[in-house]
Chains A and B, each alone.
Chain A
């Protein structure tokens, strides 16, 4: 029970900081939008290619924006040595992990909603299979946030941290990128039956990532 209470405390703190500073809203979200526009330049919109590969482009944009969200989440703890305060606070490191990951997940879900609308408008995609889309997005987001948070604390306090996080996170979340893209494709193609197994894969990945995070966050927070 304490774990949940403390997680909520940390999540509330991180979300409140984002609400106040607007970095997620004014920098990360527009960044995701720019990436969507860039893809349109790279793949000629007239040949119908964009709408066919929209799921992959959408998740690539989310992945890139997620890296920024992770970096931001740990930059907040660097100012005024707030990380030391967090370590001194006595909060269970597992709760710090769950709280920070949950805050990143909430930010990503908002981002996905906005980018999703952007994909519908810009890439000429008709949303179908909303239930599958939502479930896949939820499971994928949990996996992304958990993995990102683990690697965020793993590289916090190191020099070259900002360049290290993308290198560590991107290969590790290959299954998320694959699973979420296939599930979205299945939903948009109107064959949701093909998509649900991928959602299961995403759920398994996320569960593993969350469990790993709770287990290793203590020793890592100690170290940083």
Chain B
């Protein structure tokens, strides 16, 4: 029930967002229509970081003996999958936005570079998740890998920021994509977009988590059957 409600709510709010961002909000004074990309780029970027934060928290809860439960591992994985998709979207949308504004698809700006490294870090995490045979074997490695990746992000960000400030003279553009917020509709639409996408995130993770739980349940049943079979297999000689 909650799932359906969430799905409907995110669908409706995304539709409203489309109208707001494409019709209601006036084009940007400097960037024109291209600036409308902000209403998807900013929320996807926010979601990417939110998703990985959730993965880290779920991993901690899995590692902590008192709160350890299988679904924390599944939540960590589900959230990371959604996070990787949104990180990829952020990079693609940022690239699309950068092309008309900066005149280039990619710039080695600190934020872009960190996001790209982040993308690869979590692609690796997802690859690690797919290698273990059973949930028991997978859980601990993956939780630790998620925490290491999460802790690595600030260090990566710090080093690339520093790197970028050093070759600042080579930059051909203002690296801040900061748009001057004007009127009521621009800030309102931006805040609304973040809310709408957060709802979408909740819907996706919930669905993915449910799928993962069903999968686990099926594995568990298969295992119980295998155990029963094995116990029956050979008749014990008297």
Contacts and interface: CB of A to CB of B under 8 A. Distances in A.
Direct contact between the two chains A and B in their complex (CB within 8 A): yes
B215 interface: no
Contacts of A212: 148, 151
Interface string B103-139: 0000000000000010011011001100110000100
A150 B117 contact: no
B124 A168 contact: yes
Nearest to B130: A160
A15 B181 CA distance: 61
A84 to B, nearest CB: 16
A95 interface: no
B131 A164 contact: yes
Contacts of B137: 223
A114 interface: no
B163 A164 contact: no
A175 B156 CA distance: 6
A76 interface: no
Contact of A174 (B124, B151, B159): B159
Contacts of A196: none
Contacts of B148: 150, 172, 212, 216
Interface string B139-181: 0110011001101100110111011001000000000000000
A167 B144 CA distance: 16
A160 B159 CA distance: 31
A182 interface: yes
A168 B148 CA distance: 11
B152 A172 contact: yes
B166 A175 contact: no
A158, A160, A174, A194 interface centre (most CB from chain B within 10 Å):
A174
Contacts of B145: 154, 168
Contacts of B156: 171, 174-175
A6 to B, nearest CB: 22
Query: Contact residue range for chain B?
Result: 20 to 34
Query: Contact residue range for chain A?
Result: 20 to 34
A23 to B, nearest CB: 25
Nearest to B63: A219
Contacts of B128: 154-155, 158, 164, 168
B158 to A, nearest CB: 8
Contacts of A194: 166
A219 B15 CA distance: 47
A143 to B, nearest CB: 10
B151 A159 contact: no
Contacts of A208: 151, 155
A168 to B, nearest CB: 4
Contact of B166 (A154, A174, A182): A182
A167 B123 CA distance: 8
Given A172-B149, A174-B117, A182 B127 contact: no
Interface of B: 117, 120-121, 123-124, 127-128, 131-132, 137, 140-141, 144-145, 148-149, 151-152, 155-156, 158-160, 162-163, 166
Given A170-B120, A223-B140, 6 more contacts: A155-B131, A167-B123, A194-B166, A201-B162, A208-B151, A208-B155
